[in-house]
Amino acid sequence: MMGMKKIGRSLYEISMEKGMRVPAYAFIDDTMAESGETLQALEQIKNVAWLPGVQQFVAAMPDVHYGYGFPIGGVCATDTRDGVISPGGVGYDINCGVRAIRTMLCAKDIDKRVWDLVTELYRRVPAGVGLKGSIRLSAREERRVVENGAGWAVAHGFGEDEDLLFCEDGGRLDGADYADVSETARERGREQLGTLGAGNHFIELSYVSDIFDDDTASLYGLFKGQIIVLFHTGSRGFGYQICDDYLKMMRKESRLELPDPQLVSVFIGHHLGKRYMSAMRAAANYAWANRQIITSLVREGFERVLKTSYRRLGMSVVYDVSHNIARLEYHEVEQERKLLCVHRKGATRAFGPGHQDVPEMYRSAGQPVLIPGDMGRASYIMKGTEGSMKKSFGTACHGAGRLLSRRKATKVAESRDIKGELEKLGVLVMSRSRRTLKEEMPEAYKDVSRIVDIVEQNDLARKVAKLVPIGVVKG
């Protein structure tokens, strides 16, 4: 039985155990605290507290669920001088993230065109397994992609410079060296740029059903009834291979004793630590280029169906967040400003007002925090807070979090017509795989509204707008 003490309305402190270097906190409610699934995931966050150089605390977000090594929905920060970097703390899909695009359209404007838009986006953005993009990269061009990220895509006609202002890190991390990427990873990346992938990746058309904070909504360019496009994807096979390559290399060289081999780590200053950071940044930049190209494909899809330019439709990027990444960030630790390596696996950065990394236009409010839910219920746009800087290294949740395993979900949905059920809810869905629809059905996830309430109760982020889906493209 795990020792845990309730220390807030929806905050638990996990008892220190042998091997843990710092305390572990879980932002969960009482029901979650009694769930076997959550407790399994919290065992994993305890393991994260073993990492050498870990600072202050480790934390589990309300959407935490069982992963491998790190739980999904976990955050930890290590000291850059004597701490480690762990590829398991980033995940296979490096810089998996979410982008939101606003429009000037209202739900009633596209009432009769939703199906056309969904089918056009499905046709235009390769989604599903084994589908290649329309871009074939030479080795030279692939190097430029990983060095320049979303900027490469804009320079090649996919979008506008302004889009980059609304991506975390401007859609590019410094220090990505193509030499640190294996030939296999390079091969996997060459034909997958501009593809959505499968599983929980999606494109969603939704409308703003509620505004919770008028001033911030206005700053983010949001209004009630507005059509928003939200999509979720990452670095595709390129990132998966980089993660696997470095886990393998680290396993051979690391002598650190950790409770789970998937947590394998090396010191940040170790030659493999430096090379992994470089390769991880390469994958992060690949993912940003990928989301930038998809942004352009989405705009083209709207233009084709609605027969007007995307500029006239007001299609601009609200924001782009990464939820699987390790970044070097300054945080205050025991009244000292320290450079830390913040690992966010299935967790979203939520920097508050005034932070220099928040785009100037949003700086007075805090950064947008994009929290997708499931296909049938809702998603949220939140804003970062000062509270999150102290309580979670500037981090909030990344989604609803799985409730049912894929196997259980498939069983529950066995004889059901998930597509038909969603249609009755007013959500039109195109998916390459019927099994994916079953695995990803709304009941397979926790209710995202409950998750964001817990985030808000703990002042990790605050609600700005609620989005309700009307059309979904799945792989």
Partner 1 sequence: MSPFQVVDHTADIAVVIEGDNEEQLLREGTRVVFFLLTDSDPGRGRVQRTVKKRVKLEYRSFEELFIDFLNRLLSLADIYGLLPVGVAPKIKKNRAVITVRFIHAGPCQLTREIKAATHHNYSVERGPNGLLTKITFDV
**Which residues contact partner 1 by CB under 8 A?**
37, 40-41, 65-69, 72, 91-93, 128-130, 184, 187-188, 197-199, 237, 240-241, 243-244, 247-248, 251-252, 260-262, 264, 402, 404-408, 432-433, 435-436, 475
Nearer to partner 1, 67 or 273 (CB): 67
Q: Which of 415, 464, 463, 412 is nearest to 441 (CA)?
A: 412
> Tokens standing for 238?
């390129």
Q: Which residues of 136-167 are buried (b: 16+ CB within 10 A; e: fewer)?
A: ebeeeebbbbbbbbbbbbbebebbbeebbbbb
**Closer residue to partner 1, CB minimum distance, 5 or 407:** 407
Closest CA to 375 of 199, 255, 214: 199
* Closer residue to partner 1 in complex, CB, 28/211: 28
Dist CA 429 CA 444 (whole Å): 17
Query: For the packed helices 139-148 and 271-306, what is the interaxial angle rounded to 10 degrees?
Result: 90
**Cα angle: 316, vertex 321, 322; to 5 degrees:** 145
DSSP category for residue 7: E
Q: Nearer to partner 1 by C-beta: 80 or 436?
A: 436
Side-chain-side CA neighbours of 58 within 13 Å: the count stands at 34
| Residue with Cβ nearer partner 1 (187 or 453) | 187
Q: Closer to partner 1 at the Cβ: 279 or 465?
A: 279
**Least distance in angstroms from the C-beta of 262 to partner 1:** 4
Q: Which amino acid is it at 128?
A: G
**For the chain, what's the residue count?**
475
**Interatomic CA distance for residues 471 and 396, integer angstroms:** 26
Tokens for 317?
């990027």
Q: Whole-number minimum distance, CB 283 to partner 1, in Å?
A: 12
**Closest distance to partner 1 from the beta carbon of 91 (Å):** 8
Q: Do the strands 54-68 and 24-26 form a parallel or antiparallel pair, or are they unpaired?
A: parallel
Nearer to partner 1 (CB atom), residue 124 or residue 432: 432
Rounded-to-integer distance, Cα 198 and Cα 221, Å = 30
CB of 296 to partner 1, least distance (A): 23
Supply the minimum distance, in Å, between the C-beta of residue 284 and partner 1: 16
* Shortest distance in whole angstroms from residue 241 CB to partner 1: 6
Distance, in Å, from the CA atom of 181 to the CA atom of 118, rounded to the nearest integer, reads: 36
Alpha helices in 49-199 (DSSP H): 114-124, 139-148, 150-155, 161-165, 183-189
Q: In whole angstroms, how close is the CB of 247 to partner 1 at the nearest point?
A: 7
Residues assigned a catalytic role:
398
End-to-end CA distance of the chain: 39
Alpha-carbon distance 136 to 75, whole Å?
A: 36
* 176 vs 281: CA distance, rounded Å: 5
